[in-house]
Amino acid sequence: MADNNRANFGSKLGVVAAAAGSAVGLGNIWRFPYELGQSGGGAFLLIYIVCIVLLGLPIMTSEFLIGRMSQSNAVGAFRKLGPKGSKWWLVGVMGVLSAFFIMGFYVVVSGWTLEYIVQAVTNSFANKDTETLTRAFTDFSTGTWRPIIWMTLFLVITCVIIVGGVKNGIEKSAKFMMPLLLIIIVALGVRAVTLPGGAEGLRFLFKPDFSKIDSSVVLNAMGQAFFSLSLGMGCMITYGSYINKKNHLAHTVLEVTFVDTIIAVLASIAIFPAVFSFGINPEQGPTLVFITLPNIFAHMPGGLIWSLLFFILLSIAALTSTISLLEVIVAFFTEEFKMSRAKAAIIASAGIWVLGVCASLSMGVWSDVHIFGFTIFDFLDNITSKIMMPLGGLLIALFAGWVMKKDQMLGELSNNGKYKTAYFRAYYFIVRFVAPVAILMIFLNQLGVFRWLRL
Ligand code: TRP
| Protein residue whose Cα sits closest to atom 12 of ligand 1 | 230
pLDDT band at residue 1 using 50, 70 and 90 as cut-offs: very low
Among 100, 222, 321, name the best residue to mutate to test ligand 1's pocket (greatest count of ligand atoms within 8 A of Cβ): 321
The residue type of 146 is: R
Among 59, 102, 266, name the best residue to mutate to test ligand 1's pocket (greatest count of ligand atoms within 8 A of Cβ): 102
pLDDT at 441: 81
| Protein residue whose Cα sits closest to atom 9 of ligand 1 | 230
CA distances from 210 to 44, 48, 75 (A): 9, 13, 42
pLDDT band at residue 446 using 50, 70 and 90 as cut-offs: low
pLDDT at 68: 96
Single out the residue of 67, 60, 65 nearest to residue 435, CA to CA: 60
Distance 231 CA to ligand 1 centre (A): 7
pLDDT at 194: 85
pLDDT at 296: 78
Sequence spans of domains, the chain: 12-452
pLDDT at 354: 98
Among 96, 228, 384, 389, name the best residue to mutate to test ligand 1's pocket (greatest count of ligand atoms within 8 A of Cβ): 228
pLDDT at 192: 82
Single out the residue of 234, 260, 224, 229 nearest to residue 65, CA to CA: 234
Q: What distance in Å separates the CA atoms of residue 226 and residue 90, rounded to the nearest whole number?
A: 20
Q: For 299-319, what is each residue's pLDDT tens digit? A: 778 888 888 988 998 999 999
pLDDT at 102: 96
Q: For 328-386, what is each residue's pLDDT tens digit? A: 999 999 999 999 999 999 999 999 999 999 999 999 999 999 999 999 999 998 888 87
* Mean pLDDT score, 425-435: 96
Identify which of 28-32, 37-41, 139-143, 287-291 has the greatest average pLDDT: 139-143
Distance 26 CA to ligand 1 centre (A): 8
Tell me which of 165 and 129 has the higher pLDDT: 165
Atom of ligand 1 minimally distant from the CA of 232: 14
Lowest mean pLDDT among 56-60, 402-406, 450-454: 450-454
Residue 93, Cβ density class (10 Å: 0-12 exposed, 13-18 middle, ≥19 buried)? middle
Lowest mean pLDDT among 188-202, 366-380, 438-452: 438-452
pLDDT band at residue 255 using 50, 70 and 90 as cut-offs: very high
CB 269 within 8 A of CB 202: yes
Q: What distance in Å separates the CA atoms of residue 59 and residue 214, rounded to the nearest whole number?
A: 25
Per DSSP, what are the bridge partners of residue 374?
Answer: 371
Instruction: Flag whether pLDDT at 2 surpasses 50.
Output: no
Instruction: Flag whether pLDDT at 455 surpasses 50.
Output: no
Q: What distance in Å separates the CA atoms of residue 445 and residue 449, rounded to the nearest whole number?
A: 6
pLDDT band at residue 133 using 50, 70 and 90 as cut-offs: confident
Single out the residue of 227, 232, 229, 234 nearest to residue 261, CA to CA: 229
Q: What distance in Å separates the CA atoms of residue 401 and residue 395, rounded to the nearest whole number?
A: 10
Q: What count of other Cβ atoms lies within 10 Å of the Cβ of residue 127?
A: 10
* Mean pLDDT score, 22-26: 95
**Architecture of domain 12-452 in this structure:** Orthogonal Bundle (1.10)
CA distances from 273 to 87, 156, 319, 362 (A): 50, 36, 27, 34
CB 322 within 8 A of CB 107: yes
Distance 22 CA to ligand 1 centre (A): 6
Distance 406 CA to ligand 1 centre (A): 29
Q: Whole-prediction pTM value?
A: 0.93
| Protein residue whose Cα sits closest to atom 10 of ligand 1 | 230
Q: What secondary structure letter does DSSP report for 208?
A: B
CA 195 to chain CA mean position, Å: 30
Residues with CB under 6 A from ligand 1: 22-23, 25-28, 102, 227-228, 230, 233, 235, 321, 324-325
Q: What distance in Å separates the CA atoms of residue 381 and residue 43, rounded to the nearest whole number?
A: 25
Atom of ligand 1 minimally distant from the CA of 322: 7
Instruction: Flag whether pLDDT at 143 surpasses 50.
Output: yes
* Mean pLDDT score, 235-258: 95
| Protein residue whose Cα sits closest to atom 7 of ligand 1 | 321
pLDDT at 449: 59
Single out the residue of 113, 172, 117, 146 nearest to residue 323, CA to CA: 172
Q: Helix, strand or coil for residue 255? A: helix
pLDDT band at residue 45 using 50, 70 and 90 as cut-offs: very high
Distance 321 CA to ligand 1 centre (A): 6
Length of the chain: 455
Percentage of the chain beyond pLDDT 90 is 62
Cα torsion 11, 16, 17, 18: sign: positive
Single out the residue of 270, 287, 340 nearest to residue 133, CA to CA: 287
| Protein residue whose Cα sits closest to atom 11 of ligand 1 | 230
- 165 Ramachandran zone, left/alpha/beta (phi>0; psi -120 to 50): left
Among 325, 386, 391, name the best residue to mutate to test ligand 1's pocket (greatest count of ligand atoms within 8 A of Cβ): 325
CB 269 within 8 A of CB 148: no
Distance 336 CA to ligand 1 centre (A): 23
